[in-house]
Structures are given as structure tokens and as C-alpha cells.
Amino acid sequence: MVSWNSTNEPDFILLGLADSTETQLVLFLLFLLIYLVTMLGNTGMILIIRLDPQLHTPMYFFLTHLAYIDLSYSTVITPKTLQNLVSSTKAISFLGCFTQLYFFVVFAAAECFLLSSMAYDRYVAICKPLRYPIVMSPRLCRALLAGSYVPGLVDSTVNVIFMSRLHFCNSKIIHHFFCDTSPILALSCSDISKVELIIFICAGSNLLLSLITISGSYVSILFTILQIHSNVGKRKAFSTCASHLLGVSIFYCTMIFTYLKPNQSYSLGKDQVASVFYTIVIPMLNPLIYSLRNREVKSALLRVMQKRGAPDH
């Protein structure tokens, strides 16, 4: 059996999402549109928050970085996917493949913990409103942001180091549209049981820790909301969490479906659909979720537009 490892730097072949030229063209146009909306939506969100002083609060500090993460990991995946949809070779180098995997894991894990930080921010705002300015200090916000990236960097580094040491057999075809862990491991002729365990522990601990933080925050928020006697007060408190809850539900459901399951239950079609959703679609949905359901963002957009459109005196 012929095998090779990272020292030979071979090309992988990303099989992609479809075989027919017509379907690939449709997907190319669809993904291109989604990517353009993603770029416009997230960049617009960052600029609005930066330009409007009224949005310089902890919640929007985290929302700015959520938009940046969505921009980043969408850019890690989508441009290469678009290229492969109109290319006949669909090749990606060993270095390119593991670089894509590395940054994808970094940003995906960072989003998990950033969503946890946003949940904690909502907990303090609703459950301890009088102490909110003191608790959610700029120093704590920066620490929570750093704490979002560090686990992703550690997780990604460990995964890529162990996976890049594997030997790969004759087949170079990755049955996926980007370099993800399961399709790459499927090509290896090495014993992957230890690597699978390490990846499962890293991904599982990140998801579990962030979910515990989010669940704990929202259980406390729920008890606090139930104690509010005014229906108007309840609706106002719930509305501050609704966008975040929706974003968390969509993101975690697809991530858990894809990664926290036995390897034997791997299904190419279902996994690709879930992967398309959280790598390409969710980064487009987040700015829509957080802007369309948020009066402050819509008001800030109007203020920014009026300020830019006002004549100079």
C-alpha cells in the first residue's frame, strides 16, 4: 500500500457538493450571493456600531466581534468553495487544506465562547442591572474576548498537529466541500482512534463548557423575568435576549448535529447540508437576526445615515 504524509505536500481533491455542471453553477450563484450579503451585513454591522457612540456598550462590543468572526470563518471556507464550483481540478494543497482547517476551528470555537460571553452579558444586564456598569467593565469585556479566542487557538493547534502526522493512503479525494476533520480522517490509513478521541474531547469540552455558561445564564434570566410583575417589563426583558437565543439555537444545533455524534453515524449528505448551514448560511443570518430584531441597531443606522446625509454648514 502506498502512503504519504505531510512531508510530500500532495494535493487533496475536494469532491464538492454536486456532480452536474448545471447544479454547480446554481450553487455558485447562490453561494456567491450569500457571501456578498454576509460581507455587506457583517461589515455594515461593525461600521454602524463603531460610528454610533450610543452603541459603545458591552453588548455591542461583543456583537462587533461576532460579526468579525462570522466574516472570518465564512472567508476561510466560501471563496475556496466558489472556486471549486467553477474549477475542473478542485485541488487543494496539503498546506492549504490544513491551514483552512486550522482557521476554521479557531473561529468556530471562538464563536462558541463569544456567544457564552454575550449570554453572561445579558445575565448581568437583566439579573443585576444596577451593577451592570461596574461588572461589565472594559477590562472584563477584553478578558472575555481573549478567553473566546484562546480555547479556539489551543483546540485548533492540537487537532492540526495530530492530524497532520497521519499517513494518507492512495485516495486523495475528500468527500466534502472543505477540509473538515471527519472527511480528512476517513482518508488516513493510520490508526485514527486516538486522534478521534482527542478531537471529540476538545470539541466536546468546548461545546459543553460554553453551553453550560449559556444555559446557566438563561435559567437565571428566566427566573428573573418570571418575577417581574409588569407584562411590559417582561416583554422588554425578553426582547433583549430573543436575538441572542435565536442565534445560539441555530449555531449550536448544527454544530452538535455535525460533531458530537459517533463516527459510525456519519452521513455525507446530511453532514454536508449541516456544514453548508453553519459555514455559509449562519454568518449571513447573524447580522440579520441581530439588526432586524433590534430597535437600537435600526435607530443607529438611521442616525448614521442622517449624519452622513446632512449638508455641511
pLDDT at 1: 39
Question: Is residue 174 in some structural domain?
Answer: yes
Question: Is residue 227 in some structural domain?
Answer: yes
Question: Is residue 57 in some structural domain?
Answer: yes
pLDDT at 137 over 70: yes
How many structural domains comprise the chain? 1
CA dist 132 → 123, 127, 150, 249 (Å): 9, 9, 25, 25
The position carrying cell 411590559 is 232
Question: Is residue 311 in some structural domain?
Answer: no
Confidence class for position 11, pLDDT limits 50, 70, 90: confident
Mean pLDDT across the chain? 82
Question: Is residue 108 in some structural domain?
Answer: yes
Question: Is residue 312 in some structural domain?
Answer: no
Q: What percent of the chain has pLDDT over 90?
A: 29
| Domain span holding position 251 | 6-306
pLDDT at 295: 66
Report d(CA 206, CA 236) in Å as an integer. Answer: 31
pLDDT at 312 over 80: no
Residue 73 sits at φ, ψ, to 5 deg, of -80, -20
Report d(CA 12, CA 184) in Å as an integer. Answer: 9
- Region of 304 (left: φ > 0; alpha: ψ -120 to 50; beta: rest) is alpha
Single-letter amino acid code for the residue at 243:
S
pLDDT at 306: 64
pLDDT at 258: 67
pLDDT at 231: 76
pLDDT at 149: 93
CB 255 within 8 A of CB 108: yes
Report d(CA 156, CA 109) in Å as an integer. Answer: 9
CATH value at residue 56: 1.20.1070.10
Residues, the chain: 313
31, 35, 36, 37: CA torsion to nearest 10: 100
Residue 202 CB contacts under 8 Å (≥ 6 apart), including other chains: 155, 158, 159
Report d(CA 275, CA 73) in Å as an integer. Answer: 12
**More confident site: 114 or 243:** 114
pLDDT at 294: 63
pLDDT at 8 over 60: no
The average pLDDT across 176-196 equals: 86
Evaluated on CA atoms 115, 121, 122, 127, the torsion sign reads positive
Question: Is residue 100 in some structural domain?
Answer: yes
pLDDT at 185: 86
pLDDT tens for residues 190-244? 888 888 888 888 888 888 898 899 999 989 988 888 887 777 777 777 776 777 7
pLDDT at 38: 93
Helix (H) or strand (E) holding 288: helix 282-292
Question: Is residue 239 in some structural domain?
Answer: yes
